[in-house]
Amino acid sequence: MRFSNSFLDEIRDRVPISDVIGRRVSWDKRKTNVPRGDYWACCPFHGEKSPSFHCEDRKGRYHCFGCGVTGDHFRFLTDLEGLNFPEAVQQIADMAGVAMPIADPVMEKREKERTSLLDVMELATQFFQDQLQTANGARARAYLRDRGLTGRTIETFRLGFAPDSRNALKEFLAGKGIPKEQIEACGLVVHGPEIPVSYDRFRDRIMFPIPSSREKVIAFGGRAMSPDAPAKYLNSNETELFHKGNVLYNFARARRATQGANGESTIIAVEGYMDVIALHQAGIENAVAPLGTALTENQLELLWKMTPQPVLCFDGDGAGMRAANRGADLALPHIKPGRTVRFALLPDGKDPDDLVRNEGRAPFDKVMTQAKPLAEMIWSREINTGRFDTPEAKAELESRLKQLVAVIADENVRRHYQQDMRDRLNGFFQPQFQNRGNDRRNFERGGGQNKGRGNEGPRGARVSGGGISERLARSGLVRGHQETPALRESVLALTVVNHPALMQDEYDEIASIDYDSRELQRLWSGMLGAAAAVAGPHLTREYLIERLEEQGFAGLIQGLEQQIRNARLWIATEEAAMEDAREGYRQALAFHKRAKALRWQKIELEREIAEATEAGNGEVIDQLMRALQEVHFEGLRLENQEAIIDGFGVLSGRVKGAASH
């Protein structure tokens, strides 16, 4: 049903957006200004500890400065709660106390027909469930027991059995008064002009009901009991209710798992029904599956509605790797700030069902912590396609990567991917390039034996021995200059390099850290690539340092070590005990995220001030200036907090092997 703009505007104006969002978040009392209709909270779309999610009743909009989501009343309900647009409109209209416009009679008739078909599908589901418990379903029950499924799991997913009969379901539904037209419209029988008598589509199969986002059964998947069946798995055909490319198995249940009080942090897309069910039984309730085909764009959009960073999990064989590569190509054009995918690759020959049934949940959780970012997946695939020992082969690889990255629609993300691939290529083709380049530049400046150390400029900025100004050095026009990373970023980077065991539990966050320092961005890319090449226990500090030095990062690592020791931040050094290093890492990451959120708030406020200035709205300008000043003072408070927290300026004195206190 189409809605007029005037109707949508009316119900939006009647309902403050804070009323819609406030049912799902807790407003931050310190930052929220209720009289102004200005609200802040921790973002419901991504996990965070500091409030960077902002909504304004005056504008009727929300925006998260952490993950970038933005929208209005309806977008919030469709993106977070998975409602379709008419459902979102209905909910806002109810809150506004406004009657919905009269629907088109043709559409009303079609909706009634859909409701009737849903009733038929429910009857079919009950029939299959009952058949599983009869003597005819004995083999099916034994198969499910052999697969490790409990009675409770079978009931939860409403599994059933289609008997080996051409008309058992058809006769059952006819006995309930269901006309043949509705049975055919549901796709439950095979029929057509060349088929004199229709017959049951599903025969001698274990049945998996496929629910919609509103948890109504709209289709079935059937697993053949006979090894001679032409198709091991058979899905319902396309119907008025069911469009295979628009549906994910277990969508509604997985969405609830991510929204609960102890919700999972992401959504995992696996390959089949049994994978989803086995994971659920193992306590992993946030898994979904496409329906027997490769992931589609519409299914990917459904994943992004539930989480900004779903994990695509594939079996550890050749087919699984091909599916992963197809998923990477599918996602690449559509990624945006705060919206991407990760890839979890299972051990060769294993699928999720095998893993959790034979070894429990722990091995699967470990695979999830090692999920690769999309950029790493693309890079790994391309460099494993052949040898690159000639200029022609290197040029071909570079050209292919450029073409792949060019499909990214978002300009900012595309630019970062281009830089990331350039950095990877430099490290891959010329691992000693940085050291050789620095040596050559020193020689060209006449510093063959390092004639003089750099001088300290204003506020501690490094100035080269040639008297280069801070401004000129930062411009990037002077080759060889390296700007010292912020101390907070140095702590983050060096803590992980010195304690790579952190990546076992913190890999997702570590892989997604976005550094301001270009040098640390390049270091991070090299480190993640090195870490991805080895299994957990083999990822030692010695191994990591050796790989990074091969890529030309020895000088940068030495500089970070010196910076940290000068600041007496022993918690980031190799000598720190693991528990202290972990705490220091988490403190540094929290400050890093908060600083970035404040910077985004500042940018947004400055943009709004510019708009208000153009409009000549003095009152709004005053309000925005006060908000900008608050952001400035909060930034100063953040700096002061860093200076007094253990690990940021206070000598902890704890080292490996010492008792923690």
Structural domain contains residue 454: no
Instruction: Note whether 118 and 185 are same-domain residues.
Output: yes
Tell whether 272 and 322 lie within a shared domain: yes
**In a domain? residue 406:** no
Q: What's the whole-model pTM score?
A: 0.55
Rounded CA-CA distance 159/155 in Å is 7
In a domain, 654, yes or no: no
For residue 208, what is the domain's CATH number?
3.90.980.10
Mark which of 383, 418, 450 sits at the end of a domain: 383
Handedness of CA 413, 416, 421, 424 (dihedral sign): negative
Lowest mean pLDDT among 323-332, 424-433, 497-506: 424-433
In the chain, the number of structural domains is 4
Question: pLDDT for 515-569, tens place per residue?
Answer: 878 888 888 877 877 776 665 667 788 888 888 888 888 888 888 888 888 877 7
Structural contact between residues 158 and 121, judged by C-beta atoms closer than 8 angstroms = no
Euclidean distance between CA atoms 161 and 140, whole angstroms: 7
pLDDT digits (tens, 9 = 90+) for 132-188: 999 999 999 999 999 999 999 999 999 999 999 999 999 999 999 999 999 999 999
Instruction: Specify the pLDDT at position 638.
Output: 64
Identify the domain containing residue 68 by its residue range: 5-96
Domain boundary among 345, 364, 383: 383
Spatial distance between the Cα atoms of 457 and 463, rounded to a whole number of angstroms: 6
Q: What angle do CA 82, 85, 88 make, to 5 degrees?
A: 75
Domain contains 303: yes
d(CA 548, CA 525): 10
Gap between the Cα atoms of 552 and 258, Å rounded = 42
Instruction: Report if residue 396 sits inside a domain.
Output: no
Residue 443, in any domain of the structure: no
Whether residues 226 and 290 share a domain: the answer is no
Q: Which residue has the higher pLDDT, 319 or 237?
A: 237
Answer yes or no: do 297 and 365 share one domain. Answer: yes
Q: Are residues 198 and 256 in the same domain?
A: no
Q: Which two tokens stand for residue 563?
A: 């910076």
CA 370 – CA 538 distance, rounded (Å): 14
Same domain, 493 and 569: yes
Q: Do 194 and 295 belong to one domain? A: no
Residues 115, 14 share a domain: no
CATH of the domain at 28: 3.90.580.10
Q: Evaluate whether residue 139 is within a structural domain.
A: yes
Residues 299 and 184 in one domain: no
Is residue 621 located within the same domain as residue 494?
A: yes
Q: Which of 383, 417, 432 is at the close of a domain? A: 383
pLDDT tens track for 237-276: 999 889 888 899 999 899 888 754 344 568 999 988 999 9
